[in-house]
Amino acid sequence: MNTATFSLATLAPAIPEIALLAFVSALLVIDLFVADRDRHVSFWLAIGSLLGTALLAGSLVGHPSAVTFQGMFVADPMSQVLKVSVLLSVAATLVYSRVYLEVRELLRGEFLSLSLFATLGMMVMISAHHFLTLYLGLELLALSLYAMVALQRDSARATEAAMKYFVLGALASGMLLYGMSMVYGGTGSLDIARVAASLAGTPQSQTLAVFGLVFVVAGVAFKLGAVPFHMWVPDVYHGASTPATLFIGAAPKIAAFAFVMRLLAQALGPLGADWQQMLAILAVASIGLGNVVAIAQTNLKRMLAYSTISHMGFLLLGILAGTDNGYSSAMFYVLTYVLMTLGAFGMILLLSRAGFEAEELEDFRGLNRRSRWFAFVMLVIVFSLAGIPPAVGFLAKLAVLQAAWESGFGWLVVFAVLMSVVGAFYYLRLVKLMYMDEPAGEITIAGRGDMRFLLSVNALAVLALGIVPAPLMDLCARAITASL
Amino acid sequence: MSQGFPILSLVTWLPIAFGVAVLALASDRNPAPARWTALAGSILGFVAGIPLWTGFSLAAGGAMQFEELAPWIPLFNVNYHLGVDGISMPLILLNSFMTVLVVIAHWEVVTEKVGQYLAAFLIMSGLINGTFAALDAILFYVFFEAMLIPMFLIIGVWGGPNRVYAAVKFFLYTLLGSLLMLAAFIYLYHQTNGSFEILDYHKLPLTMTAQVLVFLAMFMSFAVKVPMWPVHTWLPDAHVEAPTGGSVILAAITLKIGAYGFLRFNMPIAPDASHALAGFMITLSLVAVVYIGLVALVQSDMKKLIAYSSISHMGFVTLGFFLFNAEGVLGGLIQMVSHGFISAAMFLCVGVLYDRVHSRQISAYGGVANTMPVFAAFFVLFAMANSGLPATSGFVGEFFVIMGAVKVNFWYAFLAATTLIFGAAYTLWMVKRVVYGEVANPDVAALKDVNGRELAFLALLAACVLAMGIYPKPFADVMNPTILELLQHVTASKLR
């Protein structure tokens, strides 16, 4: 190891992370001096930190790749795009959650600073260029999320969910570390570029590396929630408070995509032929089980959990293609998926009020009578999740399907489209409840003006991206080509 | 390629824009602004389409006209490519025309969520025009699928008692078919090295296995839409539960998209498979014509009867196509347009009765002619057209198809011709029970004859049915060059 030649210039690529860390530390302190009734100050500080960091990260979009901290950290075009998306989606999450948290007296510094720490963890994951950095980011994210789920202390369900999440998450981290250590044994390095170079050439032990790969893939599948490592997803989605569910369901998926890209596509890329087959099995199982089991759910959060599982299967279809085309399609898929998830959970939060969680499917009954506009918002999001044009969900599916076909997974494509029909059924049920049934109880539309506005923009973006997808698709394609 | 005024974009997006405007204007207390805006939108949509007919060049042969081309998703080489030939142009006009009728027909009948109802129809009208005009596979697919959303809502929100079941069945059936077609598009995309142009697929040589698979995938999609026996079961359910306007659009237009798909996709992309599977297709068509004709005979619900009659008539269309001669294809196409008029008229007639008595059962009526003489005259005319009486449009198409069938196989023609008997039997028997005889019950005695609004749409349709029956030449002239080129293309093998 050469002695670190430290200069401020080496910090430049990590400016957004450093800024966010400074912001969140400041927030922690400031929040101590904020009275409960002025909690909105902390809230807006958190939003401001996120948007400010997003601006910093956005200003770096288009810069060439830069590796710093002796190869621990990389800032490449892909990471900048993903970071901006993560920051914006966390900001949207907070805006959507605000009223819900206020009413339940959960809007304290804890939730906000945990959110920001989790965001920092995601950013570190996205920019990792070394297995240790990757793991560090992952754990920062995961620990914040465990605490966030457990934040609702007096709810037995939330505590149970946090416990399950923690135990299974720790197991997954263990597997991942075990796998990484074996890869280290096989290649002699933890640096992503060196691992790749070693595997492409003559590694010390190919067998050991492949053996490690199995554990890495299992760990990755845990984090993504792919079948058969999906058990925690429905329980956590259901048990956590809706803002926490929204948080877990949205931005971390982007980070998980980056995680998969760094680990599989970049570090273990030369073993592609091995992991493609593993991912194919995970994808088939996720798409199949996710769609079928979702039908049986009556709780919307649980249903969306199974829908997430199947969507992660689709995401894997893009990644397992193992081509630039596939990676950029998967990136497009994950970004649009997060947009849809934000909208779907945003709607649940909009309809929830003090002492009432609008999380059962039945709670959406007759929404069209109560509010045409928000019924339409949900309609767009639901059809997008189902992959029906003109919403963007269709184009995202098309992109990953054509990439999987190009790499010779035609049978997987046929399977996936057939399962989409099954999937359409439970999404339709929601549309049916909103439009074709009469309201059973009272429906109140909670939420402030800013939340309603953002939710409307969110749904319109889902629609608009379906009609004008080219800019985002090009952005993803350029980011992937420039980063790999 | 000359890019003149984008008429096709106009006929696609104008109704959609008006649909959005209607949604914005909608108010449950005062539906009048929404109604008049919708009427204006539908009429403008139809007027905007007229230049397609007047400016259509017969000398262009089967080439695409009024083309528009712009990149849409450059990354996957997906284009916003529109164009029409002699097959799709009349269907676009038919659709725009029907939209006007549907808007007129809803006037006093639909009182709940009027704005959303009209907006759904206008948006669907635009999407259907886009489907007929799309020359890019993904663009086609987007229009084709997006159409399901308004139709799902129309059936499910304004339909009868069992509407939700029917709407979901309709949606899932159609979705299953179209997703398989999507898989076929993805295959063809990679075979052509990255093109989603339908016309490129026409030229692409494929092995027999590939052709058969592509044919079957697309068959699943279009057969459900037509619908062909045995995947027709969604149609009677959907029709019975749909509101009158929904039934009209469903029967008159969306069924035609399936048939259109066979001509635009199956036959030119997989000509060898089409020939190889022609016997299969003809058998299914004949089963539809004969068996479904018999099923129609025993229906006690008028809408169900007309729904089965539609399946039987669409059997004629697919039969005509897979005879691979000019008479058959022309007959099929004319039958498509004619069936659009007649089925719309029949459903509107049932709607007129239903609005007054609130029953679709044949047994609830009897002797309607005594209280509604004007209506009875129209109803009988349309029933005659439905059974294929000469001088009505129903005759022309069936006659051509039977002529084409004789050329191929006498027995095909023989079986197809039985429809003239069955069709007459089920339609006229229904008319006899509903219209003639003594006044059956107090409901019928209290009936009032058609008002000016109803007279307007019935007279318009009657004029169309008769005009097309007496002088079908303009239609044939427009369709013929395209048909000849299509047949020439299909005859040449493109096996690899």
pLDDT tens-digit map of A471-483: 999 999 999 988 8
Taking CA atoms, B206 is separated from A164, B202, B273, B490, in Å, by 54, 10, 10, 13
CA distance A242 to chain B (A): 29
Answer whether B402's CB lies under 8 Å from B323's CB: no
Nearest to B186 among A372, A394, A401 (CB): A401
**B28: which 2 tokens?**
């449950």
Collect all residues of chain A within an 8 Å Cβ-Cβ radius of residue B182. 398, 401, 417
CA distance A64 to chain B (A): 22
Q: How far apart are CA A439 and CA A400, in angstroms?
A: 38
Write the burial class of residue B298 (CB in 10 Å: 0-12 exposed, 13-18 middle, 19+ buried): exposed
Q: What parts of chain B have a pLDDT lower than 50? A: 1-2
Helix residue ranges per DSSP H, B55-147: 88-106, 114-133, 137-146
Contact A417 B183 (CB under 8 A): yes
Name A219's Cβ contacts closer than 8 Å, sequence gap at least 6: A172, A173, A175, A176, A179
Answer whether B242's CB lies under 8 Å from B234's CB: no
Collect all residues of chain A within an 8 Å Cβ-Cβ radius of residue B163. 436
Element (H, E) at A168: helix A156-187
Residue in chain B lying closest to A436 (CA): B157
pLDDT in tens, A35-70: 878 888 889 999 999 999 999 998 888 788 888 888
Q: What is the mean pLDDT of residues A209-217?
A: 90
**A60: which 2 tokens?**
């770096």
CA distance B377 to chain A (A): 37
Confidence of residue A317 (pLDDT cuts 50, 70, 90): very high
Answer whether A346's CB lies under 8 Å from A300's CB: no
CB of A438 within 8 Å of a chain B CB? The answer is: no
Quote the Cα angle for B351-B354-B358, to 5°: 155
Answer whether A374's CB lies under 8 Å from A363's CB: no
Element (H, E) at A174: helix A156-187
Nearest to B146 among A390, A424, A432 (CB): A390
Burial B5-33 (b: 16+ CB within 10 A, else e): eebbbbbbbbbbbbbebbbebbeeeebee
Answer whether B352's CB lies under 8 Å from B435's CB: no
As for the ipTM of the complex, it is 0.90
What was the pLDDT predicted at A3?
52
Collect all residues of chain B within an 8 Å Cβ-Cβ radius of residue A389. 141-142, 145-146
Identity of the amino acid at B276: A
Contact B180 A417 (CB under 8 A): yes
CB contact residues (below 8 A), chain B span 183-222, against chain A: 183, 186-187, 189-190
Q: Is position A478 within any domain?
A: yes
Contact A388 B145 (CB under 8 A): yes
Average of per-residue pLDDT values in chain A: 89
Answer whether B125's CB lies under 8 Å from B15's CB: yes
Contact A421 B176 (CB under 8 A): yes
Nearest to A51 by CA among A4, A86, A11: A86
Helix residue ranges per DSSP H, B134-277: 137-146, 148-158, 163-191, 198-203, 208-225, 234-241, 244-249, 255-261, 267-269, 271-276
Burial A41-56 (b: 16+ CB within 10 A, else e): ebbebbbebbeebbeb
Judge whether residue A443 has pLDDT over 70. no
Contact A388 B149 (CB under 8 A): yes
Collect all residues of chain A within an 8 Å Cβ-Cβ radius of residue B149. 379, 383, 388
Q: How far apart are CA B439 and CA A111, in angstroms?
A: 75
The residue range of the domain holding A388 is: 9-483
Phi, psi of B72 (to 5 degrees): -115, -60
Judge whether residue A139 has pLDDT over 90. yes
Q: Is position A388 within any domain?
A: yes
Element (H, E) at A75: strand A73-75
CA distance A406 to chain B (A): 7
Contact B152 A402 (CB under 8 A): no
Element (H, E) at A216: helix A206-224
**A223: which 2 tokens?**
């984090």
Interface test with B, best of A317, A336, A436 (most B CBs within 10 A): A436
What was the pLDDT predicted at A283?
93
Contact B152 A474 (CB under 8 A): no
Chains A & B: contacts with CB separation below 8 Å: 90
Residue in chain A lying closest to B155 (CA): A436
Q: What is the mean pLDDT of residues A359-369?
A: 83
3-state secondary structure of A67: strand
Collect all residues of chain A within an 8 Å Cβ-Cβ radius of residue B124. none
Q: What is the DSSP code string of A6-50?
A: --GGGGGGGHHHHHHHHHHHHHHHHHHTS-GGGHHHHHHHHHHHH
What was the pLDDT predicted at B1?
43
What was the pLDDT predicted at B225?
86
Q: What percent of chain A has pLDDT over 70?
A: 97
Q: Which long-range contacts (CB under 8 A, 24 or more apart) does B352-357 make?
A: B352/B450, B352/B454, B352/B458, B353/B302, B353/B434, B354/B244, B355/B108, B355/B109, B355/B244, B356/B443, B356/B447, B356/B448, B357/B443, B357/B444, B357/B447
Collect all residues of chain B within an 8 Å Cβ-Cβ radius of residue A379. 149
Collect all residues of chain B within an 8 Å Cβ-Cβ radius of residue A405. 186-187, 190
Residue in chain B lying closest to A424 (CA): B172
CB of B74 within 8 Å of a chain A CB? The answer is: yes
Q: How far apart are CA A20 and CA A26, in angstroms?
A: 10
Residue in chain A lying closest to B117 (CA): A435
What was the pLDDT predicted at A1?
42
Contact A474 B172 (CB under 8 A): no
Nearest to B41 by CA among B117, B121, B110: B121
Q: How far apart are CA A462 and CA A160, in angstroms?
A: 34
CB contact residues (below 8 A), chain B span 152-181, against chain A: 152-153, 156-157, 163-164, 167-168, 171-172, 175-176, 179-180
Name A59's Cβ contacts closer than 8 Å, sequence gap at least 6: none
Query: Number of C-alpha atoms within 13 angstroms, CB side, residue A7?
Result: 2
CA distance B325 to chain A (A): 35
Residue in chain B lying closest to A382 (CA): B149
Collect all residues of chain B within an 8 Å Cβ-Cβ radius of residue A394. 142, 145
Q: How far apart are CA A209 and CA B291, in angstroms?
A: 65
Collect all residues of chain B within an 8 Å Cβ-Cβ radius of residue A410. 183, 187
Q: Is position A80 within any domain?
A: yes
Quote the Cα angle for B144-B147-B149, to 5°: 130
Query: Number of C-alpha atoms within 13 angstroms, CB side, residue B459?
Result: 8
Confidence of residue A4 (pLDDT cuts 50, 70, 90): low
Number of domains chain A contains? 1
Contact B73 A405 (CB under 8 A): no
> How far is Cα of residue A20 from the mean position of the Cα atoms in its chain?
19
Interface test with B, best of A291, A414, A426, A480 (most B CBs within 10 A): A414
Contact A389 B145 (CB under 8 A): yes
Q: Is position A2 within any domain?
A: no
CB of A398 within 8 Å of a chain B CB? The answer is: yes
Judge whether residue A423 has pLDDT over 90. no
Residue with tokens 């190009």: A406
3-state secondary structure of B85: coil
Q: Is position A3 within any domain?
A: no
Q: What is the mean pLDDT of residues A324-349?
A: 92
Q: Which residue has the higher pLDDT, B108 or A77?
A: A77
Q: Is position A88 within any domain?
A: yes
Name B145's Cβ contacts closer than 8 Å, sequence gap at least 6: A388, A389, A394, B175, B178
